[in-house]
Chain A
Amino acid sequence: MKTFNGYRRKNGTIGVRNHVIVMNTTGELAGLTKKLANLVPGAVPVTHQTGQMQYPEDIQQIYRTLKGTAGHPNVSATLFIGMGQNDPAETIAEELQKEGHHVHALTVQKSKPISVVLNEGRQWLAEAVKRSHLEKKEKADVTELTIGLECGGSDAWSGVTANPSIGAFSDAIVADGGTSILAETPEAIGAEHILAKRSVSKEVGEQFLKIVDEYESRAQAIGEDVRSANPSPGNITGGLTTLEEKSLGCIKKGGTAPLEEVVPYSGKPEKKGFIFMDTPGYDVESVAGMAAGGAQIVLFSTGKGSPTGSPIVPVVKIGTNPKLYKNMPEHIDVNAGKILEGTHNINDIGMEIYDLVMEVANGELTASEKNNHQEFAIWRLAETM
């Protein structure tokens, strides 16, 4: 059994990083949140412009994402900055405290000068960073790992090299008792029947077909066709011709294991094994959703070269072709292009990915971490009011 050393949390989960983060609950406070995080070395701002004047379906999804991010196993402590009476900061903080997380809510008020707010926040964060340095790692095995599977800036090689290699990895970790999450619902369009057939039950299969169908209808409801804009301009220059072709390549990341469960955006899987999460194909939003759902590491294949990461989870970049690896080595962790050169096969790269995942779980930094890529965005379902 493969093992790694990680940070055991009070709720039993295990983290592969030990971040101290600051989050805003409403867009108005994003600037203040960044300003505060900048005062304390080691504190990471996780900001967004959602949470203000939105429909309930969005509010629900945003709060689930904020809570999942703040209570993530890779996070040692979270400071929420909120304002006003209906702000969720206090409630989310209390819920997470009950689960044993180190979380605090700071509410800005009319009568409280900003210098006081910044001072209070800085003190709490400085303590939290100090506290995080004292936390010791302990041994855990691969059954406790959840790995997100993403692709972005795909080209015609994605479905030939990197994605099948990720699939080989996914099958291996699932066979070892771990968990992998495939996502990007619109990139299952045209290939949904293949995944549905692999579901453990009729219900799971139907649930999966339903979210794919809803995604396409959601676009049609505003008079648009997902297939018209996807593949993107970069995908097309990369050699992809249709969404079906992109999808057939995309789902290769899911390997061949049975589909155990379908979870909503930022939802936590109850089962282990191979899971599907309903997310957009938009990389940063999708990665943020899988992270909020508990993935400790995300694998991300790219053909054109995409540098993005996450503020809380290491993102491992797998390049689909040798040219990309040669041109943009600073952004790529694994060169699946070796398959095209004939020196390695899909299984070799799958195992190389698995070995790297264990090293990253042990603390080795990924390319996106080294370059400070900490992009964060939450999928929106409706217009801001």
Chain B
Amino acid sequence: MTYTFEGYQRSDGTVGTRNHVGIVSSVICSSVVVREIAEHVPLAIPFVHANGCAQLGDDFQLTKNILVGVTKNPNLYGSLIVGLGCETNQVSGMLKSIPKTKPTKGIAIQELFGGKNTISEGVKAAEQWAEEAASETRKTYPLSAINVGIMTVDPDESSLHQTAPVIGKVVDRLIDNDVNVIMGMSKTLEPAGQILSKRAPNPKVKQDLHTLSEGMRRGRWEKVQDKTTGLHEWSEEETDLANLEARLTGTKSIDGLLDYGSYPEEQGLNLMRVPSNIVEALSGLASAGCAVVLMVSSRGVFTGSVALPSMTVAPQIEGDFEDELVDVAVTNNDADQQADQVVQKIIDICSGQESKLEELELGEFSISHSGTTY
């Protein structure tokens, strides 16, 4: 059987699970204007963040890549980029990097002589797209038309014993149905790089996964004299937990290892390096083209992403307490049956059912730093 869902096809051929118009801030300085535009336009969602200026090299490139990636997300009918004018992350530079396959426009506060003018110009442009987007209807597409993101939140041993058998099967089923899966690889999964590398046919991916298992490397700049402080060797406990978490990735071959802020080149199962900050990780998955994200957690999670439906899978809490943040509560019952339930839930949510976090309107956006601001 082929999985299908009801989605929106975009002018660039991709298929989304939601029908938004993105109002994207190029820099923190335009965030108030972006929010106001989004408040005035139906279907519009604001992408505001703390970055965009006084950034150097790779750190700046990362911010730009994530924002450009977000405009390509299939859940967006089109995107309005709103800048200030004098920032490092220039609107013109972003427009150059965004393919002209979907409605896109850029405006800036300084060019339009102030916030009020920018809001009215922005509302005008976004309203027109919102009207066009509102006339779109959901149609049936194979689930293989979308990328499904999966990431963990606060995984611990007891929760993984319950979630891993189920989610491992979910991933296998998705891959068997040609659905692309991007699995967040945060510091809790990195120590399992060694065993994951055995499933990677590509020698470069194999080597990169192996390197990740050697220890955690993260940039820090306060103690500039001591550059080795970035490497922290994994403890046995961390490695054991990671090997358990690795079971969430199923049994199929691992086709790619992506950096945060990049876009998958390979079909199939990709791992993507993400920070442990939930919102930053979700933004990375949204930027990589995911139309839905499954958060596999030890508990209810208090935030989703503005860009995409975020659903939570966590162990059933004992007693009759129902966690209002959890979309699917898993138990020790039959894993195959529960995997079917999770896949069905993914399909339902992709077809328009609201996830718990969407019902509560808890969605955020944020971009990681790989360097300090100046």
Contact = CB atoms under 8 A, between A and B. Distances in A.
B1 interface: no
Contact of A110 (B28, B113, B300, B371): B300
A221 B224 contact: yes
Given A31-B303, A330-B114, A375-B31, A306 B84 contact: yes
A230 B374 CA distance: 8
Interface in B218-233: 218-224, 227
Contact of B53 (A52, A282, A327): A282
A383 B222 CA distance: 11
A373 B370 CA distance: 27
Nearest to B283: A49
A232 B88 contact: yes
Interface string A35-52: 100000000000011001
A224 B115 contact: no
B275 A383 contact: yes
A177 interface: no
Given A379-B373, A380-B372, A49 B220 contact: no
B224 to A, nearest CB: 4
A83 interface: yes
A284 B370 CA distance: 19
A329 B115 CA distance: 10
Contacts of B280: 27, 49, 384
Given A53-B277, A229-B55, A219 B113 contact: no
Contacts, number: 222
A49 B366 contact: yes
B360 to A, nearest CB: 7
A304 interface: yes
Interface in A213-246: 214-215, 217-226, 228-230, 232-235, 237-238
Given A35-B362, A330-B115, A382-B218, A280 B372 contact: yes
A80 to B, nearest CB: 15
B134 interface: no
Given A229-B60, A280-B373, A382 B222 contact: yes
Interface residues of B, number: 66
A371 interface: yes
Contacts of A233: 86-88, 90
A237 B279 CA distance: 35
Interface string B204-245: 000000000000101111111001000000000000000000
Contacts of B302: 28-29, 31-32, 83, 108
A150 interface: no
B185 interface: no
Contacts of A27: 277-280, 303, 364, 366
B109 interface: yes
A224 to B, nearest CB: 4
Contact of B50 (A55, A284, A385): A284
Given A27-B278, A31-B303, A305-B110, A221 B227 contact: yes
B56 interface: yes
A121 interface: no
Contacts of B114: 305, 307, 327-331
Interface of B: 28-29, 31-33, 50, 53-60, 84-88, 90, 109-110, 113-116, 187, 216, 218-224, 227, 275-280, 299-304, 317, 321, 323-325, 360-364, 366, 368-374
In the A-B complex, the 4 residue pairs with the smallest Cβ-Cβ separation, listed nearest first, are A234-B86, A382-B220, A282-B54, A53-B276
16 contacts: A28-B302, A30-B279, A49-B280, A52-B278, A114-B324, A114-B325, A222-B57, A282-B54, A304-B85, A307-B114, A373-B32, A374-B32, A377-B28, A381-B222, A383-B370, A384-B368
